[in-house]
Structure 1
Amino acid sequence: MRITGKAAVLAMGLVVTAVWPALADKITVKDVTGREVEVNAPVKHMILGEGRQIYFLAALDKEAPFEHVVGWRDDLPKADPESYDAYLAKYPEIAKLPTFGGMKDGTFDIEQAVALKPDVILMNVDAKTATEEAGYIEKLGKVGIPLVYVDFREKPMENTEPSMRIMGKLMAKEALAEDFIKFRADSIKRVTDALHKANPPKPVVFVERAGGYSEDCCMSFGNENFGKMVEIAGGTNMAKDIIPGTFGTVNPEQIIASNPDQIIVTGGNWDKYVPGGAWVGVGYGADLKEARRKLEALTKRPAFTGVTAVADHNVHAIWHQFYNNPYQFVAIQEIAKWLHPELFADLDPEATFKELHARFLPLDYKPGYFVSLKDE
């Protein structure tokens, strides 16, 4: 969908007209970058700067999560096809939603965005540099479209709660947002309280980001995201002193020299990105037998030669998308159970995830998010 002629002039802000009813109230929200942004709320029409933002939107709108979405980025069917298919089956109208490219790759269509008349555009904070360099905030501001940054990826342990509160305010669902935040905090506390009391030794953990996605080895996490989750779950993130930011790479020699006690590989079904790839396809309703086979195959790579974790079968795979949504507390529980199986023998991360679905999410729960070489 593109617009030309007079509409294009309007879109770029050379002629400004009112495009929203005057019934909505103006509120001010502070986004995760500290910007104060005025928004007409409750938001009736929004554009999702990433399709996977439905993960947190759905948690605040269980009955009709797409009701106010007028456009979204086109990543969900490729990055998480099982979840997309499940949403599509329940909400077939999403097949007709206008889709966008990304701001970071320069394919976001600002004219299309203006034509859809959103009350707000939600953008992940990792797109901030590209957004500012392209002048999108100013261009959108000329036609009265605010842009709000949220973050569940760059610093999720710091920004998940503020991001959920922002969404609660935008959607006039503050109480529901607080319910979710409490459930998240209580779920993490079950891990941290037990660790504080028992104070067990901390195993060294190597987290491989998207193992098998490419032939290169090995992407990992610094002291945030899955790296931080490992620390909260009672482990020592091998790469925290090697990678200065959230994301980075370690070489095979560093893995062998560090000799991690545990290895965790993030995975998903990326057949639309890397058809037939070596990635481990965990996720919504995944085939865990096939996922386990692919996980074991990854241990044969040179980077894992002679590593204690491989010898002891302490090699696990976990759904990659936990790195980009507010459900990280489920991942923390599962990691804690892998790292300290005796201490957390009674902890049931799958039950936690089922409860999350039952209380907050539109989809029925399906297993498939975790697999381990320790599994029978």
Structure 2
Amino acid sequence: MNFRHLIRALVALAPFLGQPIMPASALAAEITDVAGRTVTLDLPAKRVLVGEARQIHTIAALAGSHTFDTIVGWRDDFLTKDPDSYQAYVERFPKIADLPRFGYVPNGSFSLEAAIALHPDVLTLNIEAKTAAEESGLEEKAAAAGIQVVYVDFRVDPDKNTENSITILGKIFGDEDKAQELIAYRRAQITRVTDRLAAVKDLKRPLVYMERAPGNDAEGGCCRTFGPANFGEMVEKAGGHNIGSDVIKTTFGSLSIEQLIAVNPDQIIATGSNWAAESKTNRFVHVGRGADPIKAREKLQTLMERTGFEGLKAVQEGNVHAVWHQFYGAPYEFVPIQQFAKWFHPELFKDLDPQQTFREFHEKFLPVTYKPGYFVSLEKGRQ
């Protein structure tokens, strides 16, 4: 007797057993997403539409060599905003070059009709797309077509939502045990820093300015930064003080050059990536998988020559760095936390090797190989 026949037999026997027996469709599971919405779908999902392709950084840590077994389409951001990582995955999974790509829900370039044609069970969206999805009626239209929308978040409030988001994706992709393993690994790597800092009496925290994607906006632009979440929170966990949090209470915001000069930070960290596909100025710092550190350092030096930067303490003393921007949307923040700690407190963390941590993480969780290039610093004393 197969499973379907067994269910039918149990349903027929229900009146005699004294308990109601639910049909097979009731075996579907409920997921409560980071927006607090409860959706019901069969798990693991058989056909997944990935609403932000950079979610692959998490999905791959859960599914490994099976990462793309159930993905039927994805947003185009992996190719345009993180092409170095995209290339690594194309080399490992050549067929994904032909995966259907979609636009972004908040700017209206996402085509629900094209998505429906792929018959997905679920669409995974980042939480920042929720307002646009509600206003456009996307959630209701997708549900009417049999597609459940599930929100995750690794960017807006990662401290609150990262572990839940990992758990949700673990359910969708059918490896809840791996999700818990990833959560435990991430926690352990962060506490390697936070526990040591907690043991320091009267810790002196350097003033840190985190600049968000300089050189990828406009010629000479300044000074986009982070509030108390995301990279701002990473700075605090690494033993620094994020100056953006003193002014900005949301995840992202801006300072004026006058505010920056007045604070005169001890450390400057710029985020960078390979934005060649979309940048109009090409002044960004290209860091990331396999990036050239010499070219990255040259770009970082050029950014520090903008008006107002030359006299800053961090620039004068050579405490200027760049970090891979895409750490801000993946549960890999333990790597920059470790690197920041070494920059802020070099003696306290001289035995810590963030690059080895990330290499180990690749070997333990990811189906692609590790290549360095995620950080760069100016030489001490260079102006």
Which TM-score band (shorter chain)? Answer: over 0.9
Q: 1:272 aligns with which of 270, 277, 287?
A: 277
Q: Is the 8 A contact 1:212 1:277 kept in 2?
A: yes
Task: Find the counterpart in structure 2 of residue 33 from structure 1.
Answer: 35
Question: Residue 361 in 1 paired to residue 366 in 2?
Answer: yes
Write the deviation string for residues 188-214 of structure 1: whole angstroms up to 9, x where unpaired: 000001100114200000000001112
Structure having the higher Rg: 2
* Match among 194, 201, 220 for residue 204 of structure 2: 201
TM-score, structure 2 as length reference: 0.90
Q: Is the 8 A contact 2:210 2:225 kept in 1?
A: yes
User: Is the 1:24–1:41 Cα contact (8 Å) retained in structure 2?
Assistant: no
Pairing partner for 1:159 from 148, 153, 161: 161
CA contact (8 A) 1:224 1:246 kept: yes
After superposition, the C-alpha distances for 1:160-201 in whole angstroms (9 at most, x for unaligned) are: 111001111222211110110011000000000110011420
Partner of 1:287: 292
The 1:242/1:251 distance shift into structure 2, 3 A limit, reads same
Kindly indicate whether the alpha-carbon contact (under 8 Å) linking 1:60 and 1:360 is maintained by their aligned counterparts in 2.
yes
Alignment of 1:62-141 (within 5 A): 62-141=64-143
What secondary structure sits across from 2:327 in the alignment?
A: helix
Structure 1: distance between partners of 2:157 and 2:379: 30
**Match in the other structure for 1:6:** none
Distance in 1 (CA, whole Å) between partners of 2:274 and 2:248 is 26
Q: Secondary structure at the match of 1:62?
A: helix
Q: How does 1:134-283 map to 2 (within 5 A)?
A: 134-199=136-201, 200-214=203-217, 215=219, 216-274=221-279, 277-283=282-288
Q: Which runs of 5+ in 1 are unaligned?
A: 1-21
Paired with 1:141 and 1:78, the residues of 2 have a C-alpha distance of: 29
Q: Hey, what does 1:304 align to over in structure 2?
A: 309
C-alpha displacement of 1:64 = 2.2
Equivalent pairs: percent with the same residue? 51
Match of 2:342 in 1: 337
Q: Match for residue 348 of structure 1? A: 353
CA contact (8 A) 1:157 1:224 kept: yes
Q: Where does structure 1 differ by over 6 angstroms across 4 or more consecutive aligned residues?
A: none
1:275, distance to aligned residue in structure 2 (A): 5.2
In 2: Cα distance, 1:157 partner to 1:212 partner: 28
CA distance in 2, matches of 1:24, 1:263: 54
| Contact 1:191–1:336 (8 Å) recurs in 2 | yes
SS at match of 1:303: coil
Q: Give the Å deviation of 1:63.
A: 0.9
Q: How many Å separate the matches in 2 of 1:25 and 1:203? A: 54
Query: Taking structure 1 as the reference length, what is the TM-score of the superposition?
Result: 0.92
Structure 1 counterpart of 2:51: 49
Query: 2:215 touches 2:281 (CA, 8 Å); kept in 1?
Result: no
CA 1:115/1:363 → structure 2, altered by over 3 Å: closer, same or farther?
same
SS in 1 for 2:249: coil
Would the aligned equivalents of 2:288 and 2:374 in 1 still touch at CA under 8 Å? yes
Deviations 1:58-77 (A, max 9, x none): 01111121111101011111
TM superposition shift of 1:303 = 3.2
How many Å separate the matches in 1 of 2:114 and 2:279?
29
| 1:13 aligned partner | none
The CA distance in 2 between the partners of 1:309 and 1:298, in whole Å, is 13
CA contact (8 A) 1:24 1:40 kept: no
Please state how far the C-alpha of 1:23 moved relative to its aligned partner.
7.8
Matched residue type, 2:297: R
Question: Structure 1 counterpart of 2:60, which letter?
Answer: A
SS at match of 2:361: helix
CA deviation profile, 1:102-158 (whole Å, cap 9, x unmatched): 110111111111111111100000001000000111111112210000000101122
Report the 3-state secondary structure (helix = DSSP H, G, I; strand = E; otherwise coil) of the residue aligned with 2:197.
Answer: helix
Task: Name the CA shift for 1:347/1:251 in 2 (closer, same or farther; >3 Å).
Answer: same
CA contact (8 A) 1:217 1:303 kept: no
**Corresponding residue of 2:7:** none
Cα distance in structure 1, aligned partners of 2:281 and 2:140: 43
Quick one: distance in 2 between partners of 1:278 and 1:169?
41
User: How many Å apart are 1:243 and its aligned residue?
Assistant: 1.4
